[in-house]
Structure 1
């Protein structure tokens, strides 16, 4: 994890040049334990603390936090966008196509971008986003592919 996670939400917002509003702090605090939450899940968590928060506010906050580099948005195919506070380390994701579980995976080799495309088209590449899709152990065990089912 990056060192910025050890700072409080207000300090992280200030460091990114953002005003420290209650909804922004609440979103950062909801994401701090880790995980990959969608806007609806975050809305439910934040609304417990700030009942007047609207879903529209949630999207505005998430956009501001993402633009400021405090939150990373990942967009798994066929799923709602997910948000996490692990930023700046060019990690990747494992996604279960059965239950939707998402796990972080360290950069595949070395430093960012850790992968080099066969053709760069003269781009100056600084990150690589890789998504590994498969089945988590629980979903795999429930399929006919599992050796225990055969």
Structure 2
């Protein structure tokens, strides 16, 4: 997704009005997966000039509610947003720097949706977060 016309099409298909802030937020999240709200505000302001925090929060909420963005919030972290929606992927988070990366389900379509005991729930999503150190934060090994 790289063009304004494509973002406008997504908004229309989701029955949302096309506005400059909505297009700018979509562009920011597509360009910067797993960005936090403050970063998104910075990217949008670089693009549009002064936009209020509340306007960006409102846009993020509307885009998330419409299914155009996904909000994730790993433990002890701020909320982050991504444009990869519609699948049941997971995340890996660096304990040191907080870097986040997508991880596909390990086997099959979505094996994590089969709980050992669903307690009568109809499960439609699972949130698995792997934790560790990213390659940049791993200690170097001296030989």
> Structure 1 length normalisation: TM-score?
0.87
Distance of 1:51 and 1:105 partners within structure 2: 35
| Structure 1 match to 2:25 | 27
Q: Alignment length, in residue pairs?
A: 141
Cα contact 1:108–1:115 (8 A) shared by 2: no
Q: Which moved more, 1:55-64 or 1:121-130?
A: 121-130
Deviation per residue, 1:98-131 (Å, 9 max, x gap): 0000010112221236442221011111221110
Pair 1:18-2:42 in alignment: no
Question: Structure 2: which 5+ residue stretches go unaligned?
Answer: none
Q: Which moved more, 1:85-94 or 1:6-15?
A: 6-15
- After superposing on structure 2, the runs of 4+ consecutive aligned residues of structure 1 that deviate more than 3 Å are 112-115
Question: Structure 1: which 5+ residue stretches go unaligned?
Answer: 143-147
Distance of 1:58 and 1:19 partners within structure 2: 15
| Structure 2 match to 1:60 | 58
1:79 to 77, 80, 84: 77
Cα contact 1:113–1:125 (8 A) shared by 2: no
Cα contact 2:113–2:124 (8 A) shared by 1: no
Aligned CA RMSD, in angstroms, stands at 1.8
| Structure 1 match to 2:48 | 50
Cα contact 1:16–1:68 (8 A) shared by 2: yes
Distance 1:51 1:28, change over 3 A: same
| Structure 2 match to 1:8 | 6
Distance of 1:113 and 1:64 partners within structure 2: 30
> Structure 2 length normalisation: TM-score?
0.91
Distance of 1:139 and 1:85 partners within structure 2: 26
Distance of 1:113 and 1:129 partners within structure 2: 12
| Structure 2 match to 1:131 | 129
